[in-house]
Amino acid sequence: MNRIIIFLLLILFALPVWSDELLTFTVKTSAPSNRKLEWRVRQPAKYTPDSRIIVLFGGRNWDGAKAIEAYGFGKLADRYGIFLVSPSFKDDDYWEPEKWSGAAMLEALTLLRQRFGLKGDTKLFYYGYSAGGQCANLFYHWKPEIVEAWGAHACGVWFNPETVTAPCPALITCGENDEGRFLLSSKFVRDAREKGYPVIWRSYPGEHELNAGSLRLAELFFEDIAAGRRTAVYVGDDQTMNYYPATSRNAADIEPEYRNIFFSLKLAECWKIWKQD
């Protein structure tokens, strides 16, 4: 009898600890500063086995709760039954998924899917700011086959676009005075578009801070994907900041390096002129 009790206790302590209020759990890793990596989860108001997951990567060494709050995707998540998940990474080159953080994320997502009965083959969304933007694009590059769409704001490190053969939609934004990051981001966009990537690019006044306009654009971008809108209906021109019906002559005349693909009028309008609600 005592052996059975001890066995059950060992199983109990081996399981992730979930908080009903914060939806917090940990994953053990080999990284020195991330031995017990904490993950924060925002559960949507309603969900199904087909519900999607957005992995939110915060700024450098952010707590996962901070990222979920700062990005403000709660209404989007409740509308489409999306789980918002964010790691509390700390140092140890966590932005390089092939070292340890990628395996930690896959384990965390497996636990989340088991806990809520979610399908294991539903593709992911990634979004990140600063070091989190670095995560969003490098984690995508690490395993592009599990990602449906991704976005990054104020990022300065990018993968080589030539190494992905079947790119998914991406959104990249940056402050115009964010020194080297703006130049690096715009160069990545040009190179990626030359390889056929469907990348939306938008810059905003300001430096390295989070931008309300970029967050609103990201929300609408992921909403289009979540709603199943994957046909280009408008095309925008970086040079003129105008957009045109996708079947128009004006759209056809936009050079690939300046070409933005929009799946809805709402997204195109937000890209052109953003106004606070």
Give CA–CA dist 86/82, Å, rounded: 13
pLDDT digits (tens, 9 = 90+) for 199-241: 999 999 999 999 999 999 999 999 999 999 999 999 999 999 9
- In this prediction, residue 99 carries a pLDDT of 97
Amino acid at 141: H
Whose tokens are 């489409």? That residue is 80
Return d(Cα 128, Cα 265) in angstroms, integer: 24
**Residues 217, 152: contact at Cβ < 8 Å?**
no
Question: Which pLDDT value is given to residue 14?
Answer: 40
- With beta carbons less than 8 A apart as the criterion, state whether 233 and 246 touch: yes
How far is C-alpha 218 from the chain's CA centre? 9
Q: What are the tokens at 124?
A: 């992911």
Q: CB under 8 Å to 63, separation ≥6 — which residues? A: 38, 40, 88
Whole-number percent of the chain with pLDDT over 90: 87
Q: Which of the two residues, 198 and 3, has the higher pLDDT score? A: 198
Tell me the C-alpha to C-alpha distance, in Å, between residue 7 and each of 10, 11, 26, 111, 115.
5, 6, 21, 21, 22
Please give the pLDDT value at position 118.
98
Closest C-alpha among 155, 139, 221, 150 to residue 188: 155
Cα–Cα distance measured from residue 19 to residue 16, given in angstroms and rounded to the nearest whole number: 10
Average pLDDT, the chain: 91
pLDDT digits (tens, 9 = 90+) for 77-92: 999 999 999 999 999 9
Spatial CA neighbour of 135 closest among 113, 120, 114, 150? 150
pLDDT computed for residue 20 by the predictor: 40
What is the reported pLDDT for 205? 93
The pLDDT, as a whole number, for residue 38 is: 97
The Cβ of residue 132 has, within 10 Å, a number of other Cβ atoms equal to 28
* φ and ψ at residue 235, rounded to 5 degrees: -130, 130
191, pLDDT greater than 50: yes
With a pLDDT cut of 70, the percent of the chain lying above it is 91
Q: Please tell me the distance from the alpha carbon of residue 177 to that of residue 203, in angstroms, as a whole number.
A: 10
Average pLDDT estimate for 103-125: 97
**CA 70 from chain center: how many Å?**
14
CA dihedral 9, 11, 15, 20 (to 10 degrees): -50
pLDDT for res 140: 97
Query: Over the stretch 31-61, which tens digit does the pLDDT of each residue have?
Result: 999 999 999 999 999 999 999 999 999 999 9
